[in-house]
Amino acid sequence: MNKKKTARALVLLLAAVLVAVEAVAIIVAWPKQAAEAAAGAETNDQKAAARLDAETAALRKRIGALAPKAAHIIIDSARNTLTLKTGKEVRLQAVVSCGSGSILEEPGGKRTWIFDTPRGEFQVKSKVVDPTWVKPDWAFIEEGKEIPKKQEERLEAGVLGDYALGFGDGYFIHGTLYSRLLGRSVTHGCVRVGDKDLKAIFQAASIGTRIYIY
């Protein structure tokens, strides 16, 4: 009986020793495994970052390839700035005035105008020296005047500066009598430019020159 108890005790002791050895092995191995896992995660992060950098560089290259090689005009209507570029070269940067965003409603509520500068891609459709403003209906309503029936009563010279570049729907890049207001959003949608900058833009632009407004 004593021999059986002794044998059983030895077996249990041996089992306990084996369990302890395995536990120690696990404890010793864990930091190494954790370090390897961390290193692997770091490597994956580095690979992901490198891949993202490569994709970004490729995208910039594609965008650069899409940029016009000829002269083009970029207008930031929120900051009231105009940039004239040829390819990637900046030829001129000007402070301008864009749409006020104000709203005018015709008495009786028949028509409403929102005086924003349109956003999007446009092109120069007309170039005019010494332009004459053909006042639209809203100009008379804003002044509290009756809308004239004769076309000649709508004509007003000298208010658009020396040059005007039309880009559709009655919108123009033109001069201003109020240069002190450049940099402010005060227009009815057109883009007002100072005399010197306007002349440079007019000379550089041709019919079809792209205009990007955002």
pLDDT of residue 44: 76
pLDDT single digits (tens) 72-126: 999 999 999 999 999 999 999 999 999 999 999 999 889 999 999 999 999 999 9
**Residue 199, Cα to own-chain centre: how many angstroms?**
27
Question: What mean pLDDT, rounded, does the chain reach?
Answer: 85
Please, is 82 exposed, middle or buried when counting C-beta atoms within 10 Å of its C-beta (0-12, 13-18, 19+)? Answer: buried
pLDDT for 38 equals 52
CA–CA separation, 85 vs 90, rounded Å? 5
DSSP 148: P
Q: pLDDT tens, position by position, for the chain (214 residues)? A: 444 444 454 444 444 434 443 444 444 444 555 455 555 556 777 887 888 888 777 866 765 666 788 999 999 999 999 999 999 999 999 999 999 999 999 998 899 999 999 999 999 999 999 999 999 999 999 999 999 999 999 999 999 999 999 999 999 999 999 999 999 999 999 999 999 999 999 999 999 999 999 9
pLDDT for the residue 124: 99
Q: What's the pLDDT score for residue 12?
A: 44
Give me the phi and psi of 116, to 5 degrees please. -105, 150
Domain ranges across the chain: 1-66, 71-213
Contact criterion met (CB below 8 Å) for 24 and 31: no
Residue 141: the pLDDT is: 97
Going by the DSSP 8-state scheme, the letter that residue 83 receives in this structure is E
Question: What are the CA-CA distances from residue 53 to residues 41, 48, 202, 204 (Å)?
Answer: 18, 9, 40, 36
CATH value of 71-213 in 3.40.640.10, 3.30.70.20, 3.40.50.300, 2.40.440.10: 2.40.440.10
